[in-house]
A and B are shown apart, each in its own frame.
Chain A
Amino acid sequence: MSLHKFSVLAFLAVATVFFSCEDDEVVIPVVEELITNMTIVLTPQGGGDVVSLVFSDPDGDGAIAPTITGGTLAANTVYNATITLLNESETPVEDITEEIEAEQEEHQFFFATDGGLNLSVSYADQDADGNPLGLLTTCTSGASSSGNLVVILRHEPAKNAAGVKDGDITNAGGETDIEVAFPIVIQ
């Protein structure tokens, strides 16, 4: 092949690539890992009003602020608490709780209170290794008070580090998947 022919062929090959670049359709991704809704349902052991704490943020990291609904608990009452996580941006709505259950060894919820809220939380479930998970808990309210219940979900925490099994987050490490403060009133 003469060099001239080669040059022409090279140019044609280049031009083909050049002008075939179409403006591709933009794909709007489905964000599967997103948690748009967390609901904690507190059911009094001895019967009484069921309380639901709800965090809702349909646009995820977007600029629209989430709505957080707290609740009012009865004083000196023991509640069974159940956490449900949803991704409502998918159709049908995806239950993220199942995903946490499937990876129970790699997740753990932590609970803290602030503002003098008189509420203690203890784990009512275990992962396959016998370490706490926290989707199910027992919440015990004390005397009348108010403040926040802070719910934290850590991904890949060090569950065997000192204090972590007792719910102390100090040495847990890992990445925070959830960190939400619910305003609570005990009366």
Chain B
Amino acid sequence: MKKLILLLTLSLLGLSAQAQDCSLTLSGVVFDNSPAYPLSYANIYIEELGEGTATDDNGRFELGGLCAGEYHLSVSHLGCHPERIFLDLRGDTTLQIALAHQAALLESVEVRGQQERNAGQSQETLTRQELEEGAGKNLANLLENIAGLSVIRNGSGIAKPVIHGLTGNRIAILNNGIIQAGQQWGVDHAPEIDPFTADRIKVIKGVESLAYGGNTLGGAVLVEPGNIPQDPHLHGATQYVLETNGRQHTVSTRLEKKGSWVDWRVIGTFKQGGDHRTPDYFLRNTGVRERNAALQLQKTINDHWFHTLYYSYFHTEVGILRGAHIANTTDLETAIGREEPFYTRPNFSYELEEPRQRVQHHLLKYNTKYYLAPNRSLQLTYAGQLNRREEFDVRRGDRSERAALDLALQSHFVDVFWQDEAGHATKKIGLQYRYNENDNQPGTGVFPLIPDYNSHLPAAYFIWQLQHDRQSYQLGARYDFVALDVATITQDLPRRVERFSHRFHNYSAAAGWQYRVSKAWSSKLNLGVVRRSPEVNELYSQGLHQGVASIEEGNASLQPELSVKGVWTNSLQLSESFWLEATAYYQLVSDFIYLEPQEEARLTIRGAFPVFGYQQTNARLAGLDVNARYEWNPHWQWQAQYAMVRGYDRSQEKPLVYIPSDRIQSEISWLGTSVGKLTEPKLTVGGRYVFEQTRLLASQDFLAPPPAYLLLDASVGGAISWSGNTLHLGVQFNNLLNERYRDYLNRLRYYADEEGRNIRVNVRLEF
């Protein structure tokens, strides 16, 4: 699988502007990430003329006898998605086009002509092509194929990413550069982001994402819409995805244009799915309804002042397996012992009933960048977010229609930073201010699980990067002040409102070093320290968690946790055709916050419940991610990934819970040669083996972790191109053998099997 990414801007050289000159030459070089790796047999095609050429052994191409005018170039490589470039040809022109192999040089993918200077960063990117192939999946599921990433789920519809064993409050999710301000209090709270709005998704596994702030102790996920292409014609794409399991339909459309006054892009997505199916039964109430929209506007003034306005709306309604709604420990024990869950129906249904969630998220972002000098700029960003989360339970009376949890969160964020990119060094200094206010909406008739609170978070940071010959360095530091004010309702009678204030000082620092030892070997080292203060749910949550039948209680005396993490990555190009990358990491967290079962169960009218309280311990996480790729020849490729992580409680000398088990995945692809209008033919067969999590004491869970499983996948795809339009067709088979299995990181594994076979039909029209 070879994928191409347009990497650098085109450098236009030579100008001999003459209006009706039809003897112009377009030449250039296509290379793989750096001019040291020219790409041969890349296709250059001028859509308007229907003619093209291919690059030679040195990656060079030349097209002569061209008239001045506006053209769309399509640049592609074997088996790849062509990249389109708009070109206003006025004279002899030389282009430098950088296309990167998908795996080999992932970590240095960057658009917009910036030299990549993230020394020692350990990051991976999902390209636009991968996002298009995985269209219809939610954010976390898209990330699952990256080594070191796993997904913690609450059934098929709700999923959140796990990076190197850490999730939830410890990883930051950034939508368009802004920390997602959602209610991420539980495993059943998925990020409110439509992946169709992204041109790429980056995952930062280290701790160096200082500019983003927030809780990046475990890493960060960056969902990035790209810039609007500088093409004066209307372009866009419409995609339709049908998934047989859940009979889910997804439609998304994107339109974009460089306008005379403002450049714009709109994206709309609609998704509707019903009950998913295991090999043996339907998972009742596991459907989803989603509708999302996004608008992006860009305006350039005088070539040195840029404005971007971005608005996105996300709306989802998702069902939670009916058989997982249980009330007490007796119910839990009964449910765990069953072959198939209670309430299972023999028929498929699109119906959404209780328990279900309805979540809406608005993001408004304005960014302006002003160049003080060619290499020096000042940026101002404002982002406002509004998040409403309603959770509906099965209730007595007619109360099921009323949310049992109804939270409204508003967040405002201002960021000002100054950047200097002169020479080989980049300096960046920034100031930020964030305000969050979360209010329980009245009328639920239930005591709130999370109290009302507001927080003020001013911050300052600097980042310094230096590129020197074959080495690059990065150094950064950040300080965050956290002022948290909480209003809780007392447990004892009569009920009263009590207010608490917390003040925390958080700091983080990171240092990175990258060394290109030889053409074949590059090594990166990243070290970081992060201090994370406890979140409001860790301090003050109070109440019953449906689904696992336990009472969760916050601990107001928690102190910030301090983490030190080292990440070491080595990339080896062992031969022309064999590439290997290994990332090893080691992380120590002191005062690690976790949920611990309390000794005494609590007696209520619904029986006895175990009580879980937040405690602190000292933890250790360590692991290894390996990526390998081998190309027999341009038509046959193999790639594999392996990931392991170990989590250990050093104080109590026992394993940490919810640590992903080892996993290995591999796939073989055949890339065909284009025949006439049929391009990019491709066949892939792959598999994933997930080991049993054996590092857990029996006393640490209600049910022992499920056994290991092997899933097989296959896909076939291709595209048809005509006069600037491309129709992509793909069919993917997931869980081909209809394997019956359960996954340790799915909270619904107590009650039901995972989904069975799924066939995804993916149609995408680009115009």
Q: Is there an interface contact between A64 and B492, defined as CB atoms closer than 8 Å?
A: yes
Q: Is there an interface contact between A155 and B394, defined as CB atoms closer than 8 Å?
A: yes
A168: interface (CB < 8 Å): no
Q: Can you give 25 A-B contacts (C-beta < 8 A)?
A: A3-B307, A7-B368, A14-B384, A17-B384, A17-B412, A23-B454, A23-B485, A29-B442, A29-B445, A29-B446, A29-B448, A33-B396, A33-B446, A57-B604, A57-B605, A61-B602, A61-B604, A61-B609, A66-B604, A102-B397, A155-B394, A173-B334, A176-B326, A178-B605, A179-B605
Taking CB as reference atom, which chain B residue is nearest A66? Answer: B603
- In whole angstroms, what is the CA distance A23 to B544 when docked? 26
Known contacts A32-B397, A65-B603, A99-B396: does B445 contact A21 (CB below 8 Å)?
no
Q: Is there an interface contact between A155 and B396, defined as CB atoms closer than 8 Å?
A: yes
B543: interface (CB < 8 Å): yes
Q: Which residues of A contact B307 (CB under 8 A)?
A: 3
Q: Is there an interface contact between A62 and B445, defined as CB atoms closer than 8 Å?
A: no
B80: interface (CB < 8 Å): no
List CB contacts (< 8 Å) of A154-168 with chain B.
Answer: 155-156, 158
Q: Is there an interface contact between A32 and B495, defined as CB atoms closer than 8 Å?
A: no
A114: interface (CB < 8 Å): no
**B728 CB to closest chain A CB, in angstroms?**
39
List CB contacts (< 8 Å) of B420-467 with chain A.
Answer: 435, 437, 439-440, 442-448, 451-452, 454
List CB contacts (< 8 Å) of A83-119 with chain B.
Answer: 99-100, 102-103
Q: Which of A24, A59, A180 has the most CB of B within 10 A?
A: A24
Query: Number of contacting residues on B, CB 8 A?
Result: 56
**A21 CB to closest chain B CB, in angstroms?**
5
List CB contacts (< 8 Å) of B479-519 with chain A.
Answer: 485, 487, 489, 491-493, 495-497
**A89 CB to closest chain B CB, in angstroms?**
8
A186: interface (CB < 8 Å): no
B654: interface (CB < 8 Å): no
A128: interface (CB < 8 Å): no
Q: Is there an interface contact between A62 and B491, defined as CB atoms closer than 8 Å?
A: yes
**B553 CB to closest chain A CB, in angstroms?**
9
List CB contacts (< 8 Å) of A42-72 with chain B.
Answer: 55, 57-66
How does the 8 Å CB contact mask read for A1-28 relative to B, with 1 for contact and 0 for none? Answer: 0010001001000100110010110111
Taking CB as reference atom, which chain B residue is nearest A150? Answer: B607
Query: Number of contacting residues on A, CB 8 A?
Result: 46
Q: Which of A31, A65, A156, A173 has the most CB of B within 10 A?
A: A173
B330: interface (CB < 8 Å): yes
Q: Which of B328, B342, B384, B493 has the most CB of A within 10 A?
A: B342
Q: Is there an interface contact between B442 and A179, defined as CB atoms closer than 8 Å?
A: no
- In whole angstroms, what is the CA distance A69 to B156 when docked? 45
Q: Which residues of B contact A174 (CB under 8 A)?
A: 342
Q: Which residues of A contact B325 (CB under 8 A)?
A: 175
- In whole angstroms, what is the CA distance A21 to B604 when docked? 38
B701: interface (CB < 8 Å): no
How does the 8 Å CB contact mask read for B325-348 relative to A, with 1 for contact and 0 for none? Answer: 111101100100000001100000
A35: interface (CB < 8 Å): yes
Q: Is there an interface contact between A14 and B382, defined as CB atoms closer than 8 Å?
A: yes
Q: Is there an interface contact between B447 and A31, defined as CB atoms closer than 8 Å?
A: yes
Instruction: Give A contacts to B, CB under 8 Å.
Output: 3, 7, 10, 14, 17-18, 21, 23-24, 26-33, 35-36, 38, 55, 57-66, 99-100, 102-103, 155-156, 158, 173-180
Q: Is there an interface contact between A103 and B397, defined as CB atoms closer than 8 Å?
A: yes
- In whole angstroms, what is the CA distance A61 to B551 when docked? 9
Known contacts A3-B301, A33-B396, A179-B330: does B495 contact A28 (CB below 8 Å)?
yes
Closest 3 CB pairs of A and B: A179-B607, A173-B342, A175-B327
Q: Is there an interface contact between B301 and A177, defined as CB atoms closer than 8 Å?
A: no
Q: Is there an interface contact between A21 and B435, defined as CB atoms closer than 8 Å?
A: yes
Q: Is there an interface contact between A33 and B440, defined as CB atoms closer than 8 Å?
A: no
B233: interface (CB < 8 Å): no
- In whole angstroms, what is the CA distance A59 to B493 when docked? 7
Q: Is there an interface contact between A31 and B605, defined as CB atoms closer than 8 Å?
A: no
**A87 CB to closest chain B CB, in angstroms?**
11
Q: Is there an interface contact between B394 and A156, defined as CB atoms closer than 8 Å?
A: yes
Taking CB as reference atom, which chain A residue is nearest B386? Answer: A17
- In whole angstroms, what is the CA distance A155 to B326 when docked? 10
Q: Is there an interface contact between A18 and B435, defined as CB atoms closer than 8 Å?
A: yes
Q: Is there an interface contact between A103 and B396, defined as CB atoms closer than 8 Å?
A: yes
B417: interface (CB < 8 Å): no
B299: interface (CB < 8 Å): yes
Q: Which residues of A contact B602 (CB under 8 A)?
A: 61, 63
B366: interface (CB < 8 Å): yes
**A9 CB to closest chain B CB, in angstroms?**
12
Q: Quick one: which of B342, B412, B448, B492 contacts A59, CB cutoff 8 A?
A: B492
- In whole angstroms, what is the CA distance A64 to B604 when docked? 10
- In whole angstroms, what is the CA distance A7 to B382 when docked? 12
- In whole angstroms, what is the CA distance A66 to B605 when docked? 8
B677: interface (CB < 8 Å): no
Q: A62-B492, A175-B326, A177-B327 are in contact. List 11 more A-B contacts (CB 8 A).
A: A26-B452, A29-B447, A32-B397, A33-B399, A60-B447, A60-B604, A61-B544, A62-B491, A63-B602, A99-B397, A178-B606
Q: Which residues of A contact B551 (CB under 8 A)?
A: 61
Q: Which residues of A contact B495 (CB under 8 A)?
A: 28
Q: Which residues of A contact B447 (CB under 8 A)?
A: 29, 31, 60-61
